[in-house]
Amino acid sequence: MKILKVNDLISIKRSVEAGTSEQQAAVKTIIADVRTRGDEAIRELTEKFDQVQLSSFSVTEQEIEEAYGKVSEEFVAIVREAAANIRSFHEKQLRPSWMTTEENGTILGQKIIPLDSVGVYVPGGTAAYPSSVLMNVLPAKVAGVKRIVMVSPPDRQGCMPAAVLVAAKEAGVEEIYKVGGAQAIAALAYGTESIASVDKITGPGNIFVALAKREVYGDVDIDMIAGPSEIAILADETALADEVAADLLSQAEHDPRACSVLVTPSMALAEAVSAEVEKQLTVLPRREIAERSIADYGAIYVTADLEEAVEVVNQLAPEHLEVITADAMELLGKIRHAGAIFIGRYSSEPVGDYFAGPNHVLPTNGTARFSSPLNVDDFQKKSSVIVYSKKAFMENAEKIAAFARMEGLEAHARAVESRLKND
Amino acid sequence: MKILKVNDLISIKRSVEAGTSEQQAAVKTIIADVRTRGDEAIRELTEKFDQVQLSSFSVTEQEIEEAYGKVSEEFVAIVREAAANIRSFHEKQLRPSWMTTEENGTILGQKIIPLDSVGVYVPGGTAAYPSSVLMNVLPAKVAGVKRIVMVSPPDRQGCMPAAVLVAAKEAGVEEIYKVGGAQAIAALAYGTESIASVDKITGPGNIFVALAKREVYGDVDIDMIAGPSEIAILADETALADEVAADLLSQAEHDPRACSVLVTPSMALAEAVSAEVEKQLTVLPRREIAERSIADYGAIYVTADLEEAVEVVNQLAPEHLEVITADAMELLGKIRHAGAIFIGRYSSEPVGDYFAGPNHVLPTNGTARFSSPLNVDDFQKKSSVIVYSKKAFMENAEKIAAFARMEGLEAHARAVESRLKND
């Protein structure tokens, strides 16, 4: 692994996949087709892309029951425990509507309520990601969203992975459709005969899904267009090289464009981790992916001291940050930009991916400077509430009218004055 | 004004201005130019578009002092009172970072901190909008953003409106640049020699500003691309027709594409308001704009009863909603989708535009279904914090590794197990 000085600091920003113009055109065509022909278009596109003919897209109760038969009891138990942890962490984010009352009768406040409906996209393909189901569905559930719809592409037998169906059931999803790709996003955004539209779409997907989300954004809300995953590890000489290396590789195995960085004032640790990474790489099942990621986007930065190391981390604004130093907790106050912060050697990043409770949907590509992990706020919205009494109004009407006139908005001033005239 | 039945209900969604391909290309060229040539490009573009040569873009302390000399004492007093109200309402939105501790040593939480820096765009042109300065700057200030930058195009004398400068000073802005258009957005997003980049850009602007914000989105955050303004008034027979008409027109005078709608179960009110609108229109300074808006996007819907009227409002999801009925407060619980809700006849919409405290930057175009007024959360971000103790880790490590393996991510499982091996 490359060992660099801080003045060689490379941005972790990688260009967001914009897709080819062919892909963009294909997505636009699919969306227009679904808007025009609804279910018929979905049926044809599913046959074309997923190579299966479906009479109904809806997953039945029986299919879900059968899914439970296909997974181990141990798996169900782990999913339940993880779901309980995730639910508990997100419940603590709930905020009540609030109001203030003033003596002159004014009431001001924020009415905070859940979105009506949310759609969660779950990617298909070779692997199943039940953790993604939990992390996307549970915050919406906790927020109080009444209608949560899950969509995911079917395999050639017209089935979905059992693990995904079990996770959906455990998370409380009651509406699941076997539809994937841009056609699924179009159905969620605009509705078809059998799939009613939703207000917000979340969840990861391939380039077609990402392009479709970007295309429907505005008509519905979306979570984000996530980039490849990142980890930065801030460590001193007390860290164990094999653990640090293993954590770097756990990020690298996701994607050849994933980014794994160690920042340390210790040259000894840097060299030991570099050697460990090479060693552990050789026996990794997803070696090819991890190797490319480490070669292209991996780096070890050696800093003058811990303070400079923290500054490097803030400049990177990584998705995941592990802090493995003698006084890790004390550094927490200095860290300004990171999606999730894992403190101490027992807070290995996979602890957060699956189990601890905080969300694993995190801001990538340096956007931790201004974005947050997926959370309950993302599934609620606020309305301002303004109640002016006659007294409050009379006290302030002339000032408000004067302000409006100053901005050249006479009708605003007259709207206020119409009350004065009538009273 | 058109009186319609509910089955003629028209969506208030109007197509968001996407700009012509020439405008899009022009914006891309400007952004690329500013990224390459920095201040030199800004200087040339300002000369081209604003027809003024500037040696420095920075507004000086002296210019601000002079601005105070150009506005009335009354104006300064109103701005101060409005600012105090806005500050107070937004301070109530502040949330602390929080954590939970478990007996096994686990600590989980959210670290909630302000963004480092924010840029506020203030449009130029014929009118000055000091209220827009207050509404964009104060939430960022309350959130704790340290660096708030304001940009606005200079006039041909190289000046900015005195009212805008005074509002900026009162709101606590310490960095103001005379730069407008797409070049200002580019400078804020990527920085130049004299203007350092920011993390988020808010504020309204013309089509070039809107296109530029869309273009830089992702590299920095933006607030939203606002559509034309809307008001819906939900009223029964107790409402006074001239007040309702005046409020509808206060929206209509903003923009020929603004949308003003009355929803009422009372045909008598509908007819009276329709007549009042025509009457008041004839004596309005911005008559031409308001007339086009009312003709193209104005409507009165007569419903079977109040319940149906509420349902219509929820379907419209308007930016502003006034409720002028006998029991207005009681309807609050039934209203699901509106940016700001004004209760009772004394809560005329301009009360909220300028003075009451809640923000006037609101979701338009039906996006109140999933979006919120500009608020303190928009200028803060969260980081998840995960601290697993040895005990917590040992209790759960095997479950976490099993979950990772189930998803085919062997390096994740090994990262966890590296700790077991070392202990």
- The pLDDT > 90 percentage for chain B reads 89
Q: How many angstroms separate the CA atoms of B261 and B230, rounded?
A: 8
- Whether residue A364 is predicted with pLDDT greater than 70 in this model: the reply is yes
Tell me whether residues A407 and B131 touch, CB distance under 8 A: yes
Tell me whether residues A402 and B75 touch, CB distance under 8 A: yes
Q: How many angstroms separate the CA atoms of B296 and B256, rounded?
A: 8
Domains and CATH numbers, chain B: 3-15+227-356 (3.40.50.1980), 21-222 (3.40.50.1980), 388-422 (no CATH)
Per-residue pLDDT band for A218 (boundaries 50, 70, 90) equals confident
Question: For B279-297, what is the mean pLDDT?
Answer: 94
What's the mean per-residue pLDDT of chain A?
94
Closest Cα in chain B, distance from residue A196 (Å): 15
CB pairs under 8 A between A and B: 354
Is the separation of the CB atoms in B407 and A71 below 8 Å?
no
Render pLDDT for B379-391 as a digit per residue (tens, 0 to 9). 999 999 999 999 9
CA-only gyration radius of chain B, Å = 26
A23 - beta bridge partners?
none
**A337 annotated to bind ligand:** no
**Candidates A128, A367, A384; nearest CB to B340:** A384
Tell me the ipTM for this assembly. Answer: 0.94
- Whether residue A238 is predicted with pLDDT greater than 90 in this model: the reply is yes
Of B369, B371, B370, nearest to B359 by C-alpha is B371
Name the one residue in this structure whose structure tokens are 């107790």: B238
Closest Cα in chain A, distance from residue B235 (Å): 15
**What are the residue ranges of helices labelled H in A126-252?**
130-143, 162-171, 181-190, 207-216, 241-252
Q: How many angstroms separate the CA atoms of B290 and B256, rounded?
A: 6
Name the one residue in this structure whose structure tokens are 């900015």: B160
Question: For B338-367, what is the mean pLDDT?
Answer: 96
- Whether residue B412 is predicted with pLDDT greater than 70 in this model: the reply is yes
Is the separation of the CB atoms in B202 and B223 below 8 Å?
yes
Is the separation of the CB atoms in B322 and B233 below 8 Å?
yes
How high is the pLDDT of residue A340?
Answer: 98
The separation between CA A27 and the C-alpha centre of its own chain, rounded to angstroms, equals 22
Q: In terms of residues, how long is chain B?
A: 423
CA angle A406, A412, A413 (to 5 degrees): 65
Question: For A55-75, what is the mean pLDDT?
Answer: 96
The set of catalytic residues of B is: 319-320
CB distance from B90 to chain A under 8 Å?
no
Render pLDDT for A77-119 as a digit per residue (tens, 0 to 9). 999 999 999 999 999 999 999 999 999 999 999 999 999 999 9
- Whether residue A15 is predicted with pLDDT greater than 70 in this model: the reply is no
Of A212, A251, A248, nearest to A324 by C-alpha is A248
Top-confidence residue, A219 or A383: A383
- Whether residue A401 is predicted with pLDDT greater than 90 in this model: the reply is yes
How high is the pLDDT of residue B15?
Answer: 64
Q: Which of A76-85, A402-411, B33-42 has the lowest mean pLDDT?
A: A402-411
How high is the pLDDT of residue B16?
Answer: 63
For residue A198, count other CB atoms closer than 10 A to its CB. Answer: 27
**A254 annotated to bind ligand:** yes
Question: For A177-195, what is the mean pLDDT?
Answer: 97
- Whether residue B9 is predicted with pLDDT greater than 80 in this model: the reply is no
**Candidates A284, A347, A359; nearest CB to B387:** A347
With CA atoms as reference, the chain B residue closest to A421 would be B243
What's the mean per-residue pLDDT of chain B?
94
Decide: helix, strand or coil at residue B100: strand
**What are the residue ranges of helices labelled H in A17-129?**
21-37, 39-50, 61-70, 73-91
Question: For B92-96, what is the mean pLDDT?
Answer: 96
Per-residue pLDDT band for A306 (boundaries 50, 70, 90) equals very high
How high is the pLDDT of residue B314?
Answer: 96
Bridge pairing between strands A175-177 and A230-235: unpaired
Q: How many angstroms separate the CA atoms of B262 and B259, rounded?
A: 10
How high is the pLDDT of residue A69?
Answer: 97
With CA atoms as reference, the chain A residue closest to B96 would be A93
Per-residue pLDDT band for B128 (boundaries 50, 70, 90) equals confident
Of B387, B405, B389, B358, nearest to B131 by C-alpha is B358
CA atoms within 13 A on the CB side of B5: 2
Render pLDDT for B172-210 as a digit per residue (tens, 0 to 9). 999 999 999 999 999 999 999 999 999 999 999 999 999
Burial class (CB in 10 A: 0-12, 13-18, 19+), B264: buried
How high is the pLDDT of residue A209?
Answer: 95
